[in-house]
């Protein structure tokens, strides 16, 4: 490994395993070989706007055809300019017109075990009714609607109803505090709040409406609030499965309703008409605002618009998940994150897919809940996060073994890099060594998946998101914008606009230009480091801000973490730099254990293990054992907080998106 200059990053990881797509899988896939993928990619790269325009004509319904594929006034993009369409129409009416009214759109299971099913025709009806409810409360095109709900079908109904009338939704994950809701409501200047009285999480009914009441006291622009009664299922009869199952009891909480401001969802729906034509929306009409996870700092209100986002969510869903009509697709992400927006709702529904939606925790009533759901609903495609996979590994294979997972044909991951050993476990224990794994790299900002294997075409390597999708042209550069060589780590950028890209940060064009477009002129700066290997495979190396600088070598977080996770005693690891007079930075790691006792002997063993796996340079100087790592509410490790702790700082940066505040105190208290 040579010393580097110019901000490149050394790669020390050695991962050589290769898994070609199973023959049977490839034979039936949409894209069947590496050659076919390459051909499509080359064709798209030759003229990206033309490539996307050809798809847009076929894949979306146009009330008025667009005139120009792309108007690019860097950094502002207008895709499919002059066209008019509607996302709700594309997800619903277009499927009904294709004769899919009786197909199941949403299979839903509540945490207590209650279940429901909605066909496309039923979903269409509910959405039309709720769109009329929104209108009756004075909501019109361009108004912002804030949504704070658990994972229930009404959340999807509310989104699609907003889209139907051109209102812009801002969904806030139903685990955030009142302060976080209020901050987002003020930033978006939301006019209406949609909420639920409660939601189930690990056996407890969360008092969501109480939190909302507190938030609304500090959200001056919000005039009205619609409240769903979770448990008593509005709008559906017993025959549809409403209220059936062991958990049909209504949570025993008293909800205070403020006269003139608060309205019950089911009361408004009773009177609503089921006729509501979809509004004809400009291609660039904003569809939603979504705040990022806050891994690197204060969340940004990312703006997405209509046609480009819709096309991108749909096509990436079809390509990456190789969707077929008989698939049961389960994305475990909460709709409060972009993964839920694009791959629980907009992507799958515009493709006419059947999705499973689950309300609660993976470990309620016990750690086998996900596997039981896969068996019960015969899930064929399962898409989850590395943080969940690491938890499954820790909980043990016995929970998996109790269930028949033979319906699965494809697995996916998103949200963080997956450590190769976690990938191997996923492949072996969940996939039965038969299912390809799509490791999908993307961001709230990108709207949909950017890099991922196409499961019938691209052989996988554990820990690599492999190759860019057609129409996506990445590059790896130094901070001065020079391309780096093969196997050199550097900044990941995109050289061309794409339809799913963010159109800005809500109300803050300057920050948009600053964060994404100023550091490498003319290119989209993703904020992650990556390297590209000899086969043209991309390996994400962690956040730009998180690079460790050890004795003049710049090291990536994930490689050190993956080396630790490959030790049988380690469940999770986070690596950060700590200021050090001699080396510039020392390597500090925080480790949670899968088995074994935290002690000095294990500490020494782990140091040796890392040295053996990836070299002396990356050997940790400090190892702290901890019961848990600080994570965002979307489950990502917050290294910036650990960096502050490792440096011995008294106070740490913005913690508003931290999942569990007690973790920081515990880590501080953990004895060295």
Using the contact rule CB under 6 A, the part of the chain among 229-237, 440-448, 621-629, 661-669 near ligand ATP is 440-448
Rounded to a whole number of angstroms, the minimum distance from the CB of residue 365 to ligand ATP is 29
Contact 205, 252 (CB under 8 A): yes
Q: Radius of gyration over alpha carbons of the chain, in Å?
A: 24
Nearer to ligand ATP, 306 or 466 (CB): 466
Contact 227, 210 (CB under 8 A): no
Check residue 330 for interaction with ligand ATP (CB under 6 A). Answer: no
Contact 328, 354 (CB under 8 A): yes
3-state DSSP percent of the chain in helix, strand and coil, to 5: 35, 25, 45
Rounded to a whole number of angstroms, the minimum distance from the CB of residue 18 to ligand ATP is 18
Using the contact rule CB under 6 A, the part of the chain among 232-240, 436-444, 575-583, 641-649 near ligand ATP is 436-444
Spell out the residues 6+ positions from residue 524 whose beta carbon is closer than 8 angstroms to its own: 75, 493, 494, 497, 501, 516, 517
Rounded to a whole number of angstroms, the minimum distance from the CB of residue 464 to ligand ATP is 9
Nearest to 455 by CA among 447, 443, 466, 446: 466
Which tokens belong to 86?
A: 């509607």
Kindly tell me which residue out of 93, 284, 528, 585 binds ligand ATP, with binding defined by CB under 6 A: 528
Rounded to a whole number of angstroms, the minimum distance from the CB of residue 638 to ligand ATP is 9
Spell out the residues 6+ positions from residue 664 whose beta carbon is closer than 8 angstroms to its own: 630, 641, 645, 652, 655, 658
How many residues sit in the footprint of ligand ATP (CB under 6 A)? 26
Site track 300-319 with ligand ATP (rule: CB under 6 A), x = hit: x-------------------
CA angle 579–582–585, rounded 5-degree value: 30
Nearest to 355 by CA among 87, 105, 111: 105
Nearest to 312 by CA among 44, 653, 598: 44
Nearer to ligand ATP, 146 or 292 (CB): 292
Check residue 636 for interaction with ligand ATP (CB under 6 A). Answer: yes
**200 has which bridge partners?**
205
Nearer to ligand ATP, 417 or 456 (CB): 417
Check residue 441 for interaction with ligand ATP (CB under 6 A). Answer: yes
The residue assigned the tokens 């070989």 is 33
Nearer to ligand ATP, 49 or 415 (CB): 415
Check residue 439 for interaction with ligand ATP (CB under 6 A). Answer: yes
Q: Which of residues 408-427 bind ligand ATP (CB under 6 A)?
A: 414-417
Rounded to a whole number of angstroms, the minimum distance from the CB of residue 453 to ligand ATP is 11
Kindly tell me which residue out of 540, 575, 614, 646 binds ligand ATP, with binding defined by CB under 6 A: 540
Rounded to a whole number of angstroms, the minimum distance from the CB of residue 392 to ligand ATP is 17
Rounded to a whole number of angstroms, the minimum distance from the CB of residue 319 to ligand ATP is 16
Which tokens belong to 367?
A: 């750690």
Q: Which of residues 456-485 bind ligand ATP (CB under 6 A)?
A: 465
Check residue 187 for interaction with ligand ATP (CB under 6 A). Answer: no
Using the contact rule CB under 6 A, the part of the chain among 155-163, 201-209, 525-533, 616-624 near ligand ATP is 525-533
Query: Phi and psi for 12 in degrees, rounded to 5?
Result: -120, 0
Rounded to a whole number of angstroms, the minimum distance from the CB of residue 640 to ligand ATP is 9
CA pair distance 179, 214, nearest whole angstrom = 8
Nearer to ligand ATP, 369 or 633 (CB): 633
Nearer to ligand ATP, 543 or 609 (CB): 543
For the CA atoms of 410, 91, 70, 508, what is the dihedral angle to 10 degrees? -90
Site track 263-302 with ligand ATP (rule: CB under 6 A), x = hit: -----------------------------xxxxxx-xx--
Rounded to a whole number of angstroms, the minimum distance from the CB of residue 411 to ligand ATP is 13
Q: Specify the 3-state DSSP secondary structure of 309.
A: helix
Nearer to ligand ATP, 528 or 559 (CB): 528
Strands 437-440 and 381-384, sheet pairing? unpaired
Check residue 332 for interaction with ligand ATP (CB under 6 A). Answer: no
Kindly tell me which residue out of 419, 444, 460, 464 binds ligand ATP, with binding defined by CB under 6 A: 444
CA pair distance 549, 42, nearest whole angstrom = 37
DSSP assigned state of 239:
G
Nearer to ligand ATP, 200 or 291 (CB): 291
CA pair distance 499, 2, nearest whole angstrom = 39
Q: Where does residue 434 rank: exposed (0-12), middle (13-18), buried (19+ CB within 10 A)?
A: middle
DSSP assigned state of 441:
B
CA pair distance 527, 424, nearest whole angstrom = 27
Count of C-beta atoms within a 10 Å radius of residue 292 = 22
Site track 129-168 with ligand ATP (rule: CB under 6 A), x = hit: ----------------------------------------
Nearer to ligand ATP, 86 or 296 (CB): 296
Rounded to a whole number of angstroms, the minimum distance from the CB of residue 335 to ligand ATP is 13
Check residue 543 for interaction with ligand ATP (CB under 6 A). Answer: yes
CA pair distance 476, 410, nearest whole angstrom = 29
Which residue ranges make up the site for ligand ATP (CB under 6 A)? 292-297, 299-300, 414-417, 439-444, 465, 526-528, 540, 543, 634, 636
């Amino acid at each position: 490994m040579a010393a580097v200059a110019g901000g490149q990053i050394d790669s020390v990881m050695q991962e050589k395993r290769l898994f070609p797509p199973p023959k049977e899988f490839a034979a039936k896939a949409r894209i069947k070989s590496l050659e076919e993928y390459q051909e499509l990619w080359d064709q798209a790269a030759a003229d990206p706007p033309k490539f996307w325009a050809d798809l847009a004509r076929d894949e979306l319904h146009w009330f008025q055809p667009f005139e120009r594929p792309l108007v690019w006034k860097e950094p502002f993009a207008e895709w499919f300019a002059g066209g008019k369409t509607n996302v709700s129409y594309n997800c619903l009416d277009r499927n009904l017109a294709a004769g899919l009214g009786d197909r199941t759109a949403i299979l839903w299971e509540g945490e207590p075990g209650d279940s429901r099913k909605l066909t496309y025709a039923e979903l269409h009806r509910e959405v039309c009714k709720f769109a009329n409810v929104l209108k009756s409360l004075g909501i019109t095109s361009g108004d912002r609607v804030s949504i704070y709900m658990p994972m229930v079908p009404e959340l999807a109904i509310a989104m699609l109803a907003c889209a139907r009338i051109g209102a812009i939704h801002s969904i806030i994950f139903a685990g955030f505090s009142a302060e976080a809701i209020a901050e987002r409501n003020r930033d978006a200047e939301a006019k209406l709040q949609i909420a639920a009285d409660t939601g189930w999480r690990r056996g407890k009914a969360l008092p969501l409406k109480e939190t909302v009441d507190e938030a609304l006291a500090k959200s001056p622009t919000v005039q009205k609030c619609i409240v769903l009664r979770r448990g008593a299922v509005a709008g559906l009869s017993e025959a549809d499965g409403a209220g059936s199952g062991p958990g049909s009891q209504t949570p025993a909480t008293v909800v205070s309703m403020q006269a003139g401001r608060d309205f019950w969802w089911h009361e408004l729906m009773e009177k609503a008409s089921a006729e509501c034509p979809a509004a004809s929306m400009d291609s660039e009409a904003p569809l939603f605002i979504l705040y990022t996870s806050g891994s690197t700092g204060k969340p940004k209100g990312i703006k997405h618009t209509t046609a480009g986002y819709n096309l991108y969510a749909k096509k990436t869903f079809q390509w990456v998940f190789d969707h077929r009509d008989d698939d049961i697709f389960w994305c475990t992400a909460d709709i409060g994150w972009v993964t839920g927006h694009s791959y629980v709702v907009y992507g799958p529904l515009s493709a006419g897919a059947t999705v499973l939606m689950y309300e609660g925790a993976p470990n309620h009533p016990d750690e086998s809940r996900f596997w039981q759901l896969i068996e019960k609903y015969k899930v064929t495609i399962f898409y989850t996060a590395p943080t969940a996979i690491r938890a499954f590994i820790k909980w043990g294979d016995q929970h998996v073994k109790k269930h028949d997972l033979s319906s699965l044909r494809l697995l996916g991951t998103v949200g963080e890099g997956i450590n190769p050993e976690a990938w191997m476990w996923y492949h072996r224990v969940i996939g039965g060594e038969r299912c390809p794994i799509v490791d999908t790299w993307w961001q709230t900002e990108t709207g949909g998946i950017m890099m991922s294997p196409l499961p019938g075409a691209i052989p996988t390597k554990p820990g690599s998101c492999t190759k860019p999708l057609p129409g996506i042209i990445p590059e790896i550069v130094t901070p001065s914008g020079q391309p780096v060589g093969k196997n050199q780590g550097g900044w990941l950028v995109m050289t061309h606009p794409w339809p799913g890209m963010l159109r800005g940060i809500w109300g803050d064009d300057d920050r948009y230009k600053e964060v994404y477009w100023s550091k490498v002129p003319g290119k989209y700066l993703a904020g992650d480091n990556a390297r590209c290997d000899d086969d043209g495979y991309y390996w994400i190396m962690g956040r730009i801000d998180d690079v460790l600088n050890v004795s003049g070598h710049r090291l990536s977080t994930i490689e050190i973490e993956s080396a630790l996770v490959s030790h049988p005693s380690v469940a999770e690891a986070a690596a950060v730099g700590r200021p050090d007079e001699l080396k510039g930075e020392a390597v500090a790691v925080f480790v949670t254990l899968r088995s074994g006792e935290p002690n000095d002997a294990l500490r020494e063993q782990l140091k040796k293990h890392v040295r053996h796996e990836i070299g002396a340079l990356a050997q940790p100087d400090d190892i702290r054992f901890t019961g848990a790592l600080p994570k965002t509410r979307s489950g990502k490790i917050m290294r910036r907080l650990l960096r502050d702790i490792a440096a011995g700082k008294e106070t740490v940066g913005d913690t508003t998106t931290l999942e569990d505040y007690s973790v920081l105190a515990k880590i501080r208290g953990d004895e060295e």
